Amino acid sequence: MTRLSAQDVAHIPLSWAEHERRLTALIQTDLTGLAGSVFGLERAQAADILAGQTVAVVPDTSGEGRIEGFTEALVFIARRLGAEAFATIPDLAGFKEAKERRATIALTSDDRYFLAMRLSDGFKSENGWATGVGFAQCLSLMTSGRLAGRPVLTVGAGPVGQAGAAWLRRLGAKPIIADLSPALAARAAGLVGGRVWRPQDGVQPGGFELIFEASTSGRLWPPESLKPGTKVAAPGMPPSFEPSEHYALWHDPLQTGTAVMILQAALGRTSATLTAQPPRFPVQLWS
């Protein structure tokens, strides 16, 4: 997973109202509604499911250790989604505490994975998939569901980019995948049925009306290189685009993926049926 910094998560509680206002302006629903739409649920249905959850955030101190404010941000997000939420003591002992306090879902992360686990049966939702799908679904809602047959420049072919491209393909879009590694881009294109971006296609994204930006390269293009009205869903960290009246942009560092994870963990194996079982990726959720 992309390692966030303390600065990336520090503003989340302070900017929640603005986060929800911007999202609603783009897609006519809030984060609960966005997560619900991934699984074909109305906002009220998703809200009811989330309200029935108790989320334990279990810090992991292995590897590079804890990110200051990360645990607190996850507790905050879960509560704003309507769930009960609390932080446990770190590491394995935290899972024991979560069960003793009757949590239904545990959130935990290390240097490789960020997971939401349903404690009743061990079903897991993984952040790479949840973030990619959540942002791809947001891009679909930004177009009022009119993705069929439309090319989407998909930048970054890691787990988030692959999951996003697969979801876009499932919704009828034509992902065109670009990555600094041609082999990784080719692998992703083969998995999802997309096409690899070629040098002769041009470096600038100005020819695309829809962009899914999941790279970790930061500022790839100047804002003025985009067509007016371009729609961009950008889970990549650091972000490649800043908000502008010139184009429509959705980006957040943690909230979208976390919301989809929590809801998927709450749904358990039912979520596989609701999403028609998307293609397999590095973390297999459906076995």
DSSP collapsed to 3 states, 220-253? CCCHHHCCCCCEEECCCCCCCCCCCCCCEEECCC
Does 280 score more than 70 pLDDT?
no
The mean pLDDT value for 83-102 works out to 97
Name the class of domain 6-126+255-274: alpha beta
CATH number of 130-250: 3.40.50.720
Shared fold status for 6-126+255-274 and 130-250: yes
Determine the pLDDT at residue 69: 85
The secondary structure of residue 67, as a DSSP letter, is P
pLDDT one-digit tens code per residue, 160-199: 999 999 999 999 999 999 888 889 889 989 988 888 887 6
Pairing of strands 84-87, 54-57: parallel
57 vs 217, higher pLDDT: 57
Determine the pLDDT at residue 271: 79
Domain definitions of the chain by residue range: 6-126+255-274, 130-250
Distance CA 156, CA 162 (A): 8
Does 52 score more than 60 pLDDT?
yes
pLDDT one-digit tens code per residue, 207-225: 889 999 998 877 767 777 7
Mean pLDDT score of the chain = 87
| Band of residue 204 on the pLDDT scale cut at 50, 70, 90 | low
Strands (E), the chain: 54-57, 84-87, 105-109, 114-118, 124-126, 151-155, 174-178, 195-196, 210-213, 231-233, 248-250
Determine the pLDDT at residue 238: 79
Determine the pLDDT at residue 202: 55
The mean pLDDT value for 104-130 works out to 93
Distance CA 47, CA 41 (A): 10
Determine the pLDDT at residue 261: 97
- Measured in degrees and rounded to the nearest 5, phi and psi for residue 189 equal -60, -40
pLDDT one-digit tens code per residue, 126-164: 999 999 999 999 999 999 999 999 999 999 999 999 999
Determine the pLDDT at residue 239: 79
Query: Does the predicted model carry a pTM greater than 0.85?
Result: yes
pLDDT one-digit tens code per residue, 9-51: 788 888 999 999 999 999 999 999 999 999 999 999 999 999 9
| Band of residue 76 on the pLDDT scale cut at 50, 70, 90 | very high
